């Protein structure tokens, strides 16, 4: 085949628009989930990541599908950022047979192994030791695959976090710990539950590099995590990345988030990662119509995929006996 | 035929599994350099290397989590919990992660991890290092539970556990480690879910595992002198449970006694009695009898601990009650 030379700035623009579209898709996806919830089409609870899209998209960008990404119950964005199809992700949350997990998992357990999304975990911190296990498997097999786990600020106070950080450090595992510090553990501000303001210092106790990054700047997140991924692939061990961000919504569907000062909410809404990135791109000379095209493409895709998912059938009751020894 | 101890049978099972499959590795506290607290892994690090026989920190959550992550990548880890009581420290990893991962993901992954747990009273280890804790997991669908009661079964079941694509908890009774039994060279793995009739008899069916199986055999020898013929059934695995072999025996004897090293409520023995009554009531000529330990923590002092554990005399008395000879 003929090699086609592409100017590097063109690649950067395409890549940037891809990051933008990814963030917009997650935003629109979450808005649809809220609407579906209000229509009683979503069971249980949902934990929306609205406002935190730059962390998911930026941190997953350096990963390959052979890597392993593990995330929390606030994980719709991370799973989509790895490339899970919108329709089957909608379908899982709608409890459809065609859902990613055949309707067995739901909102809090989205998993798509084909794209490297190895699970969403609903016990705070529980997946961190498992992420270390993925790192161990890569080392054992002699590959340069890595594992990356997302978790919240609240997770840094649970035992599994410390056991996983310690194990990854002593075994120099290719595992990236990405803390989404959205300033609240459920309803409680970090300062009330955690003696450190700068959570990246948690890494010091494990002789591990700890980095703090603006979690609302998608390119900063991507660059920071890419460095950590490079170190991990090279055999230089784990990194702790703290991404400062903010949850636009409450903790879960029943929480309006009224415990947060309005000035704080307003200040963070003004730093919404999506319009901020659109402004930056236009300032950098990306044509406005291309930015608008990214939004339109995301809007169309989300609508089409949701329509498809809504039309799919429910699972048959007998399917509950599949995928386990009975 | 050769006579080997439980310890050597389990060690040989692990060594043969390591030799047969490069994806098998062992991890646990002090299992490599030190050869294990109970010397179950002595010499294996020298034979198979530090990558495949791994010392871990004292971090039970990290041990089980690492085993889960590695197993999802196709490895077959065998994790040791130095004392089964320590399962409480990593209960979430076992009950919520290990057991549910395959199901929650709609079968996108399998979790072929084996966890070895050192069970059992009698050694004066006190309340936190002596309990037989298999009942903790009896109500956690997704786990298989092996409770070998002879060296040959221990060898065969550890091989089967490692080969199984589902997670298996493998309980070893520490008071039996030095007990010898026959082991045929080349003994094949037995299917998980296959009970054994370890002594044939006609008057009463006596179900027992591990140390209670040994004591049941002592009781049966005594009772034979009194003209009472006891058939002993060892389920060998509690999940899957081979209820057919148990009810098949009751069909011949029409009487059921269960002996177990745990308190009664919420126990596997109570579950077996419940099933036999519900499914095979007409086979019974009298009420089943369950011999259990006391509903107290396990005491330290010799006279207290020995009184706590059912002995052959108590088991024999239960059989006499069952057949109306008491």
Cβ <8 Å between A130 and B166: no
**Where do the H-state alpha helices sit in B49-125?**
60-72, 91-92, 101-104
Identify the pLDDT of residue A252. 85
Distances (CA, A) of B9 to B3, B108, B147, B155, B187: 10, 35, 14, 5, 11
Cβ <8 Å between A134 and B51: no
B68: left (phi over 0), alpha (psi -120 to 50) or beta: alpha
Q: Which residue of A has its CA nearest to B168?
A: A325
Identify the pLDDT of residue B187. 64
Tens of pLDDT, residues A280-320: 999 999 999 999 999 999 999 999 999 999 999 999 999 99
DSSP strand pairing (B196-199 vs B230-234):
antiparallel
Identify the pLDDT of residue A6. 52
Quick one: tokens of B62? 């990290």
Average pLDDT over residues A105-114: 98
Inform me whether the pLDDT recorded for B1 exceeds 80.
no
Catalytic residues of B: 60, 129
Which distant-in-sequence residues (6+ apart) come within 8 Å of A224 by Cβ?
A: A211, A213, A241, A243
Q: Which residue of A has its CA nearest to B66?
A: A133
Identify the pLDDT of residue B254. 98
Tens of pLDDT, residues A224-280: 999 999 999 999 999 999 999 999 988 887 788 889 999 999 999 999 999 999 999
Q: Is B282 on the interface with A (CB under 8 A)?
A: no
Identify the pLDDT of residue A10. 61
Whether residue A318 contacts residue B97, with contact meaning beta carbons closer than 8 Å, is answered with no
Identify the pLDDT of residue A1. 41
Cβ <8 Å between B71 and A133: yes
Tens of pLDDT, residues B153-197: 999 999 999 999 999 999 999 999 999 999 987 766 788 999 999
For chain B, which residues make up each domain, given as ranges? 2-183, 196-321
> What 8-state DSSP symbol labels residue A75?
-
Substitution target in A131, A136, A205 with the highest count of B β-carbons within 10 Å is A136
Whether residue A163 contacts residue A155, with contact meaning beta carbons closer than 8 Å, is answered with no
Average pLDDT over residues B98-108: 98
Which distant-in-sequence residues (6+ apart) come within 8 Å of A5 by Cβ?
A: none
Chain A hits for B65, CB-CB cut-off 8 Å, are 126-130, 132-133, 160, 163-164
Chain B hits for A111, CB-CB cut-off 8 Å, are 104-106, 108-109
Whether residue B113 contacts residue B162, with contact meaning beta carbons closer than 8 Å, is answered with no
How does DSSP assign B172-224, residue by residue?
A: EEGGGTT-EEEE-TTPPPPPTT--EEEE--SSEEEEE-HHHHHHHHHHHHHHH
**Where do the H-state alpha helices sit in chain B?**
6-20, 44-48, 60-72, 91-92, 101-104, 151-163, 210-224, 243-253, 268-280, 302-308, 312-323
* Domain boundaries B196-321, CATH class: alpha beta
Domains of chain A with CATH codes? 41-311 (3.40.50.970)
Q: Which residue of A has its CA nearest to B53?
A: A140
Cβ <8 Å between B104 and A104: yes
Cβ <8 Å between A323 and B103: yes
Cβ <8 Å between A163 and B73: no
Identify the pLDDT of residue A160. 98
Cβ <8 Å between B62 and A101: no
Substitution target in A131, A140, A151, A172 with the highest count of B β-carbons within 10 Å is A140
Element (DSSP H or E) covering residue A298: helix A288-311
Q: Which of residues 72-111 of B touch A (CB under 8 A)?
A: 72-75, 92-93, 96-97, 101-109
Identify the pLDDT of residue A249. 87
Tens of pLDDT, residues B298-312: 999 999 999 999 999
Q: Which CATH architecture best describes the domain B2-183?
A: 3-Layer(aba) Sandwich (3.40)
Q: Which residue of A has its CA nearest to B59?
A: A163
Tell me the average pLDDT of chain A.
95
- The interface predicted TM-score of the complex, written ipTM, equals 0.95
pLDDT grade for A7, boundaries at 50, 70 and 90: low
Give the whole-angstrom CA distance, residue B45 versus residue B51.
9
Chain B hits for A326, CB-CB cut-off 8 Å, are 141
Distances (CA, A) of B63 to B176, B215, B298, B307: 25, 34, 26, 35
Using CB atoms, which residue from A111, A135, A147 is nearest to B108? Answer: A111
Average pLDDT over residues A104-113: 98
Report the first-to-last Cα separation within chain A, whole angstroms. 53
Tens of pLDDT, residues B189-234: 788 999 999 999 999 999 999 999 999 999 999 999 999 999 999 9
- Neighbour-count burial for B130-169, b at 16+ CB within 10 Å, e otherwise: bbbbbbbbbebebbbbbbbbbbbbbbbbbbbbbbbebbbb
Average pLDDT over residues B251-271: 98
Cβ burial of A125 (10 Å; 0-12, 13-18, 19+) is buried
Which distant-in-sequence residues (6+ apart) come within 8 Å of A57 by Cβ?
A: A19, A22, A23, A26, A77, A81, A218, A221, A222
Give the whole-angstrom CA distance, residue B276 versus residue B269.
11
The helix/strand count (H/E) of chain A reads as 11, 8
Identify the pLDDT of residue A2. 45
Give the whole-angstrom CA distance, residue A119 versus residue A263.
35
Identify the pLDDT of residue B194. 97
Cβ <8 Å between B109 and A113: yes
Per cent of chain A over pLDDT 90 is 90
Identify the pLDDT of residue A5. 52
């Amino acid at each position: 085949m003929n090699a086609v030379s592409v100017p590097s700035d063109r690649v950067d623009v395409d890549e940037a628009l891809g990051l933008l579209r990814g963030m917009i898709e997650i935003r629109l996806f979450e808005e649809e989930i809220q609407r579906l919830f209000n229509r009683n089409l979503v069971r249980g609870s949902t934990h929306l990541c609205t406002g935190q899209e730059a962390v998911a998209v930026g941190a997953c960008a350096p990963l390959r599908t052979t890597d392993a990404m593990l995330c929390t119950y606030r994980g719709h964005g991370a799973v989509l950022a790895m490339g899970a199809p919108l329709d089957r992700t909608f379908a899982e949350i709608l409890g459809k047979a065609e859902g990613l997990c055949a309707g067995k998992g739901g909102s809090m357990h989205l998993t798509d192994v084909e794209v490297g999304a190895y699970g969403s975990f609903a016990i705070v911190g529980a997946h961190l030791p498992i992420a270390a296990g993925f790192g161990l498997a890569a080392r054992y097999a002699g590959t340069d695959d890595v594992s990356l786990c997302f978790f919240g600020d609240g997770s840094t106070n649970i035992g599994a976090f410390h056991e996983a950080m310690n194990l990854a450090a002593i075994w120099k595992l290719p595992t990236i710990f990405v803390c989404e510090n959205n300033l609240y553990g459920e309803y409680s501000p970090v300062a009330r539950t955690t003696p450190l303001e700068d959570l990246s210092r948690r890494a010091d106790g494990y002789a591990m590099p700890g980095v703090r990054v603006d979690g609302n700047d998608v390119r900063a997140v991507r660059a920071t995590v890419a460095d950590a991924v490079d170190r991990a692939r090279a055999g230089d061990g784990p990194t702790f990345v703290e991404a400062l961000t903010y949850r636009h919504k409450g903790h879960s569907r029943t929480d309006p988030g009224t415990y947060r000062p309005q000035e704080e909410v307003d200040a963070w809404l003004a730093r919404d990662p999506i319009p901020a990135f659109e402004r930056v791109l236009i300032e950098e000379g990306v044509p406005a119509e291309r930015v608008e095209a990214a939004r339109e493409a995301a809007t169309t895709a989300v609508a089409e995929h949701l329509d498809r998912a809504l039309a799919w059938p429910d699972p048959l009751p007998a399917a509950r006996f599949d995928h386990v020894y009975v | 035929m050769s006579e080997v101890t439980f310890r050597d049978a389990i060690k040989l099972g692990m060594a043969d599994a390591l030799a047969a499959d490069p994806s098998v590795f062992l991890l646990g506290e002090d299992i490599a350099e030190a050869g294990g607290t109970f010397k179950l892994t002595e010499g294996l690090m020298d034979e198979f290397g530090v990558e495949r026989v791994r010392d871990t920190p004292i971090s039970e959550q990290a041990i089980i989590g690492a085993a889960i992550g590695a197993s999802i990548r196709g490895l077959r880890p065998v994790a040791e919990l130095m004392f089964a009581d320590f399962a409480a420290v990593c209960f979430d990893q076992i009950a919520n992660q290990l057991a549910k991962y395959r199901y929650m993901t709609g079968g996108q992954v399998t979790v072929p991890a084996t966890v070895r747990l050192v069970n059992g009273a009698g050694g004066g280890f006190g309340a936190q290092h002596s309990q037989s804790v298999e009942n903790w997991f009896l109500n956690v669908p997704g786990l298989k539970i092996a409770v070998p009661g002879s060296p040959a079964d221990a060898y065969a079941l550890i091989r089967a556990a490692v080969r199984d694509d589902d997670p298996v908890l493998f309980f070893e009774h520490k008071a039996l480690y030095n007990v010898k039994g026959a082991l045929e060279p080349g003994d094949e793995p037995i299917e998980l879910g296959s009970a054994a009739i370890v002594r044939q008899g006609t008057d009463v069916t006596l179900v027992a595992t591990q140390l209670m199986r040994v004591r049941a055999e002592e009781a049966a020898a005594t009772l034979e002198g009194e003209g009472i013929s006891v058939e002993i059934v060892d389920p060998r695995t509690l999940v899957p449970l081979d209820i057919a072999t148990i009810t098949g025996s009751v069909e011949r004897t029409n009487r059921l006694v269960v002996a177990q090293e745990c308190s009664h409520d919420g126990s596997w023995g109570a579950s077996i009695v419940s099933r036999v009554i519900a499914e095979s009531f007409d086979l019974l000529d009298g009420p089943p009898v369950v011999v259990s330990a006391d509903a107290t923590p396990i005491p330290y002092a010799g006279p207290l601990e020995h009184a706590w554990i059912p002995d052959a005399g108590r088991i024999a008395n239960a059989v006499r009650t069952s057949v109306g000879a008491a």
